[in-house]
Structure 1
């Protein structure tokens, strides 16, 4: 990846557009937001693959990430709490917990940062079907 400095931070050109990164949220994504997004989306993507490979039906996954930063230090990210909502599944809590554990072990971003950032995960099951799509 190549980043070029601009007036307000740095940018990286991709086939999808330009990624603007800045310490000021008015001018682009803040670096910690990209870090937390990488952790969350990698976890969610691997969980999706695990559920599909295990033939566990679901219609959607929603994900929230709560971040804690050490304001007494250099404002580093210390904790990321991920909460998954698995929608439209009839799988048991135990089955989903096992799938989430497997996803955590196989997410390269989580494994890259888990010695310096505490990552916790939990989930909620919602049984309604969303938009009639099945992700299996």
Structure 2
């Protein structure tokens, strides 16, 4: 018999909060768990594996929809690795677009910040003026 966890133990094992597990359950990312006679949730090792998968996907920035897609692909008998790679490739494009936007933002902040010599009051600050007049 595999180990059984209550929700707090599962949360601790996976490094997430209890509320996160409940949210993932409501979002359909976690399979239904058993309940004790006292109506406590009881989770098996498979739940921990699924939760770790979802947590890692979230750490990598996948959306809940993308995670659902990956979970469906992993449960399906006929998908290919290419199907899974398509989800990852779409996410990579989103990540690269965000990186481009962040680089533009960093450049602009450096440009605006370089105009600040720190001697003026905040009312006279060129950085504030730059942001106001943008």
Q: TM-score range by the shorter chain?
A: under 0.3
With normalisation by structure 1, the TM-score equals: 0.24
In our comparison, the structure showing a higher alpha carbon Rg is 2
With normalisation by structure 2, the TM-score equals: 0.24
Q: Which has the higher strand share?
A: 1
Bigger relative contact order (CA 8 A; separation at least 6): 1
